[in-house]
Amino acid sequence: MVYALAIAASCSSGGELGGIWRGMAPIGSDSLVRGNDGTAIAVEVIIGEFGPDIAGVIRFFRAQAFLRARNADAPDRECACVYLHSGKVDTAAAHAWFSIEGCLPGGSTRQPLLVRGELVRTPMGAQLKLKVNHPGSPLNQRETNIDLEQFGGAGDIADADLQCPLPLPTGNTSSGL
């Protein structure tokens, strides 16, 4: 709870990356993030800044609706949400680095992967770069770039936005992700 409140209370200005970012992963069988049937995956990145540090989550959806309720638009059940770890930001360069540990939608394995992520502000919003850094994985060194638009600042982050729900016995999570 303290973690969620701290992220929601973090400040954001025009050059900072804190807030809610959304976009569509590129379609294609060679895309690192995709639906199991090769369809596009919507991506939501929620970031809070704390001086030089960042924290947050990445959520994956089957459609651009970014729905929380249980429905057919949720991505495969094991790969719906991951926490950002060891995040750092350079606000002068509008560039953030972090790692994630978890599976990616459409990945060839259900095993957790180590992935290095970057979020870089662009003239049109930001670009999320994900690169698998997991020796021994068939996805090692594969990467993808996803263009994002900002849909809210740090003050728009709710406690529920920062949760990666635990899977239910059916494999779905309580929020439908």
Residue 40 scores a pLDDT above 80: no
Identity at 91, one-letter amino acid code: T
In this predicted structure, what is the pLDDT of residue 13?
45
In this predicted structure, what is the pLDDT of residue 169?
46
Q: Is 2-162 a domain of CATH 2.40.128?
A: yes
pLDDT digits (tens, 9 = 90+) for 23-33: 887 766 566 77
**pTM of this prediction?**
0.77
**pLDDT band at residue 64 using 50, 70 and 90 as cut-offs:** low
pLDDT digits (tens, 9 = 90+) for 82-97: 899 999 999 888 999 9
Identity at 24, one-letter amino acid code: M
CA dihedral 44, 49, 54, 58 (to 10 degrees): -10
In this predicted structure, what is the pLDDT of residue 149?
93
Q: How many CB atoms lie within 10 A of CB 98?
A: 23
